[in-house]
Amino acid sequence: MSSTHIFNVEMTCEGCSGAIERILNRLKGQGVEDVSISLPEQKVSVTSTLSSDQLLEAIKKAGKKTTYLGTQ
């Protein structure tokens, strides 16, 4: 069953959010169903069957400070 996980990610520009989006889009078909990014709120929502830890590790590959906020 999929859940929507919310992360706080330090993003300063469109390039930052684009990098996060590219990383998560690579996981589509492997558990990630939908990705929504709010640059002004610095929030990333991911609907996925993957665990929050798996998603957190993937997002951290962008080199941005990331914290898990919970599910929606």
Q: ∠ at Cα 43 (40, 49), nearest 5°? A: 150
**How crowded is residue 66: how many other Cβ atoms within 10 Å of its Cβ?**
21
pLDDT digit string, tens, across residues 11-32 = 999 999 999 999 999 999 999 9
Nearest to 37 by CA among 65, 63, 62, 6: 6
CATH architecture of the domain with residue range 3-71: 2-Layer Sandwich (3.30)
Nearest to 46 by CA among 58, 60, 32, 61: 32
**pTM of the full structure:** 0.94
Taking the CA atoms of residue 23, residue 10, residue 71 and residue 35 in that order, the dihedral angle to the nearest 10 degrees is -30
Over pLDDT 70: what percentage of the chain? Answer: 100
**In the chain, where are the structural domains located?**
3-71
